[in-house]
Structure 1
Amino acid sequence: MLQRFALRARRVEAHSLAADKQRLMAWARGTIQVTFEAESGKAAMSWDLPDEEALDSLAARCRPFLLNGDPVYHAKVTNALGFFIQNAPDALKQDHQKIREGWRPLDPGDRRVIGYESRTGLVTGALGDLVTDKELAYAWLYGDLVHADDGAEDRVHGHDIDARFQAGAFLIANVAFRAIGTLNFLRHLQREGYTGLEEDVFTERVIARPRRDLTLARFATAPVGTPVAALEALLDGVTAHPDAGDSDAEATDTESSLG
């Protein structure tokens, strides 16, 4: 479980939106800018939010931490961490407890708000019902992003996609922040000898390359429609290229049948 968590959390850590830790922290805090014009008496609020497509990507990497059926669900991970530090100093146990408590308000089953509540309506009409940031965020996650939940908009009482996205950014930034913090705690436990995980869990590549190059040790060509068995027979009779073993790239036997 901790191995899977480390690999998934490292994918979050490597995401472009997590590269600037200060901006990630600002999104996680829900930082608001308020302007006021003394002459006109007008005031305005604004939020600096991530690019939507980039947040979609980060949300996909973060979502397993919020699913109680997933092996890397945050409560399962923090429980596993607790097992390894049963005999650790109190200071380490206190850090672990803070991590556990930091995750709880983000859980869909927890009724607390993360940071704010909102109601909306027409300027000339009555305001709608009060909605929590978490309800808005999950309406974005399941109504706008992952699924097509027809009831999501009804449950947030008139809040539009901008309001839902704003709350979604708030939630996902907090999940990413917690995931990276928990990963760093796990790294500390590993260095102190509490976990004994394989070191490659913390070093192996977790981000796919934008291009894939393979050195072909053997290949054969045949007309379109040639049976697979015939292709395999051709490959069995082909001698490997003499330079194939000298390459650092991955080698493979490749069969191809184009229709």
Structure 2
Amino acid sequence: MAMSGGSEAAAAKHRDRLEAFVLRARRVEAHSLAADWAELVALTEMKMSTTLLPNGEARVRQDFPAEELVESAAARIRPILLTKDDCFYQNAMAGLAYFCRTWPDDLTWIRARRAEWRARVDPASPDEAGYWLMLGNMATGEKSDLDRHKLAMAWIYGEVVHHDTQRRREAEPFGLFERFRAAVPLIAWTMVGTIELLNYVRALQNDGVLQLSENVFEEQVVLTTTVYEVTGRIYAAPAGTSAPTDALAPLSQEWSLLEKEADLPSLIQRPRS
């Protein structure tokens, strides 16, 4: 399918942003929280168990992944949340709307997803934030209230990817766990929305609508091993010898090939027997 109309400059801008999104979204997709799709979706739903106790009280319980795991997921999705980054979710949606502007079914899907993103990730008011907490000190009369979205952002930007003092101060009365508890469904839903959009982009790419660089769908975006091992030759030269001007420049006579273990510099650790 080929698109008609529109300037080449506009097409290039939207294509660049979509390619940036694909690279970041694939990194989100590769996170271990996304390994079990059903569990990831469940984290977006704020599920909890409630037990009524004989004394008339109720015990409410929620189970969450380890904070460190959610923290790493927050770092991966952060550029998806930032309006100034090319890979921002709504930038990718604008790109799809541009390339699919003559396809009514696709535009309907895009409009629905954009509205859902705003409702879940960027609510316009506390009433749309899902829930809010209110605290009161009967002794001092001090009161605090904060909605779920601000609590979540206080954890993301006050604890994890920044140290936003203002957000931390505003959310401090509610404690670290309430900030974390609010952030988990936001992060999980952002991951779900990002991966769903990535798969939609893949489908449009396969249909020939987008014509993005195939490289962004194939290049390595995460490390599968953290063991560094290469095979090659080691050359050494006296201290002060000029380094080669570039990777293809021949080595000067001062550089000699090291062929014996005894010749290896002390900074290179020898394998243990």
TM over 0.5: yes
**Structure 1 residues 77-156: aligned runs within 5 Å:** 77-88=92-103, 90-108=104-122, 110-111=124-125, 113-121=128-136, 128-156=143-171
2:141, 2:187 → 1: CA distance? 31
1:227 aligned onto 2:240: yes
Over 3 Å counting, the alpha-carbon distance change for 1:118 and 1:228 in structure 2 is farther
1:125, 1:41 → 2: CA distance? 28
**Which runs of 5 or more residues in structure 2 are unaligned?**
1-16, 259-264, 268-273
Q: Who is 2:9 aligned against?
A: none
61, 65, 73: which one pairs with 2:88? 73
- TM-score normalised according to structure 2 size: 0.77
1:228, 1:98 → 2: CA distance? 63
1:175 aligned onto 2:175: no
RMSD between superposed Cα atoms in Å: 2.9
2:256, 2:210 → 1: CA distance? 47
Q: In structure 2, what residue type is equivalent to 1:94?
A: T
1:123, 1:36 → 2: CA distance? 26
Q: Who is 1:11 aligned against?
A: 27
1:214 aligned onto 2:249: no
Q: Does the Cα contact within 8 Å between 1:102 and 1:178 map onto a contact in 2?
A: no
- TM-score normalised according to structure 1 size: 0.81
Residue 157 of structure 1 and its aligned partner are, at CA, apart by 6.3
Residue 131 of structure 1 and its aligned partner are, at CA, apart by 1.3
Residue 13 of structure 1 and its aligned partner are, at CA, apart by 0.6
9, 14, 24: which one pairs with 2:40? 24
SS state at 2:242 partner? helix
Residue 147 of structure 1 and its aligned partner are, at CA, apart by 2.2
Deviations, residues 41-92 of structure 1 (Å, cap 9, x unaligned):
221112121211111111011001111111111221110110010122x222
Q: Who is 1:164 aligned against?
A: 179
Q: How many residues align?
A: 239
Residue 155 of structure 1 and its aligned partner are, at CA, apart by 1.7
Over 3 Å counting, the alpha-carbon distance change for 1:163 and 1:20 in structure 2 is same
Residue 212 of structure 1 and its aligned partner are, at CA, apart by 2.3
SS state at 2:50 partner? strand
Q: Who is 2:218 aligned against?
A: 203
1:126, 1:36 → 2: CA distance? 30
1:101, 1:26 → 2: CA distance? 21
**Which runs of 5 or more residues in structure 1 are unaligned?**
242-255
Q: In structure 1, what residue type is equivalent to 2:108?
A: Q
2:117, 2:32 → 1: CA distance? 22
Over 3 Å counting, the alpha-carbon distance change for 1:99 and 1:108 in structure 2 is closer
Q: Who is 2:13 aligned against?
A: none
Residue 29 of structure 1 and its aligned partner are, at CA, apart by 1.4
SS state at 1:58 partner? helix
Deviations, residues 82-135 of structure 1 (Å, cap 9, x unaligned):
0010122x2222111122112113455843534221223458776833311110
**Structure 1 residues 241-256: aligned runs within 5 Å:** none
31, 52, 63: which one pairs with 1:36? 52
SS state at 2:22 partner? helix
Q: Does the Cα contact within 8 Å between 1:66 and 1:73 map onto a contact in 2?
A: yes
Residue 198 of structure 1 and its aligned partner are, at CA, apart by 2.3
Over 3 Å counting, the alpha-carbon distance change for 1:35 and 1:109 in structure 2 is closer
- Of all paired residues, the percent bearing the same amino acid is 33
Q: In structure 2, what residue type is equivalent to 1:136?
A: L
2:131, 2:123 → 1: CA distance? 17
